[in-house]
Chains A and B, each alone.
Chain A
Amino acid sequence: MSVLLIAEHNNKEVKSFTLNAITAASQIDQDLHVLLIGHNADDVAKYLSEVPLVKKVLHIDNEIYENYIAENYTSAILKHADKYSHIVCSANTFGKNLMPRIAALLDISQVSDIIKVIAPDTFLRPIYAGNAFATVKSNDDKKCITIRPTSFEAAETTGGSAEIEKVDAADKTENTKFVNREEIKSDRPELGTARIVISGGRGLQSGENFKLITDVADKLNAAIGASRAAVDAGYITNEHQVGQTGKVVVPDLYIAVGISGAIQHLAGMKESKVIVAINKDGEAPIFSVADYGLEADLFEALPQFLEELNKLNTIQK
């Protein structure tokens, strides 16, 4: 049997986490098909067909899919479920919203947020905010899986030439209407895929003070993260939150500034390759995961950090 991966996109571009999910899906079974549900998304279909790991693209084009609504996606996906042994997508807000609805209707116990494919029916997944790893085996005939994107490399995007098959739309729900989406446009790298992330916590004390973070981020071409405390306090918007109930990031360098390091925050960043903590409380738990800890007042340390960076001849991009 084959694997069916549900693509996330905005009708113009594939969302980058879909490429990580493609890598994981191809480890389950190489006969990987991607289902693209959208409207006027021919460019996205073409892009997906050129991903070498993709063997076939199923493309549904209908105006009812202009905006992503889980109910409408589910009815479309169920029409194809019979032919596949696995249905998979990324474990971000897109896939977390969608997959359980599909799994329930197929009477399948979903395996969420896998970080490793051990066998086509056996996976590794973090539980308890990543404080334990569970090896789980699904005994359902068919599997519904969501994939933690940051645990898999992004798939290559050129060189393939998969067939694109047009397929029909399914029923539209009358009970859910899309109203709007407030997307904050930014020229900075995306939090989930950035090479460097610098995050601020409650220690920043105000939204204005986040400028100290953004100045360094600009210099390093870094994405900006935040602890839940900083988001709750209104210093910065929700899409920056890193942690158990926010985003999981695995950058080459994670700089935590004024973040004490609650286990819920650590869950979202402790797999980062290099971790720096800047905090004036030397006992803060964040230091227990930091490769380099600096016990200092962030209001002095961050301007100095920027100054030292400015002295460097080159900075990696």
Chain B
Amino acid sequence: MKILVAVKRVIDYNVQIRVKEDGSGVVTDNVKMSTNPPDDNAIEEAVKIKEAGKASEIIAVTVGEEKAQETVRKALAVGADRGIHVKVDSVLEPLAVSKILKKIVEKENPDLVFMGKQAIDDDCNQTGQMLAAHLNWPQATFASKIEVKENSLEVTREVDEGLETIEVNTPAIVTCDLRLNEPRYASLPNIMKAKKKPIEQINASDLGVDTNPRIEHIKIEEPPKRKAGIKVASVEELVQKLKNEAKVI
């Protein structure tokens, strides 16, 4: 069984985001970048399945600018066998990314495609479901547990009401929740070994996919700031404030 894992390079989750003064976006120069956190869970799960003898090959793919290759390299360091970097010059919408990934799936014929449930930059939560639609494959989103069966997966999904379990026939798309597993750190020897693993470079423009933006970003702005609050000295004072000042209890 072959597993394709899609990873995205995003501003590190610990970085305090700053909005550009001209309203054109957020500051990315000299800002720490990392793999989108739930994409790390997607890689980890693929590696665990391979370690359990249920997968033969893991391919990590990213769609992004030159430096996006770092996320593929990191995936190779934690256990992916080879990488694909689809190069693009601008930030693409999930619809365009899903069309590119469809081309990669058609080329590689994986049995499973894993990726994070949401990228923490645009917070769109679309790409996995869109790829599933393009391929007419089943989708198991927000996965917190995956059980590999013969020709199917049993996936536990985190939903508003609690947990839901569905069974999807393979080939299938799974989008991963942060609670799916505990992503490992790459060891130094594995980081060195990963440098020798192949990463195929593909230009998005060679794939014959319409990647033109459909959505105009008119303005990016800071959210309204909260009024500064106060510290109270005691529980008694807190309750009095809530009762008589804020009038919420």
Interface residues of A (CB under 8 A from B): 69-71, 74, 92-94, 96-105, 107-113, 122, 126-140, 173-184, 192, 196, 220, 228, 231-232, 237-239, 244-245, 247, 252-253, 263-264, 270, 273-276, 282, 287, 289-296, 301, 304-305, 308-309, 312, 315-316
Contact = CB atoms under 8 A, between A and B. Distances in A.
Contacts, number: 261
Given A100-B94, A238-B179, A132 B17 contact: yes
Contact of A104 (B133, B165, B172, B219): B133
Contact of A136 (B128, B133, B216, B222): B216
Given A97-B142, A138-B214, A293 B95 contact: no
A92 B159 CA distance: 8
B188 interface: no
Given A132-B223, A289-B226, A179 B214 contact: no
5 contacts: A69-B166, A131-B26, A140-B214, A176-B167, A292-B242
B220 A133 contact: yes
Contacts of A276: 238, 242
B218 A136 contact: yes
Interface residues of B, number: 82
A99 B128 CA distance: 12
Q: Which of B132, B168, B238, B239 has the most CB of A within 10 A?
A: B238
A101 B133 contact: yes
Chain B contact residues, majority secondary structure: mixed
Contacts of A132: 17, 19, 26, 220-223
A228 B166 contact: no
A177 B129 contact: no
A239 B160 contact: yes
B42 to A, nearest CB: 14
A103 B126 contact: yes
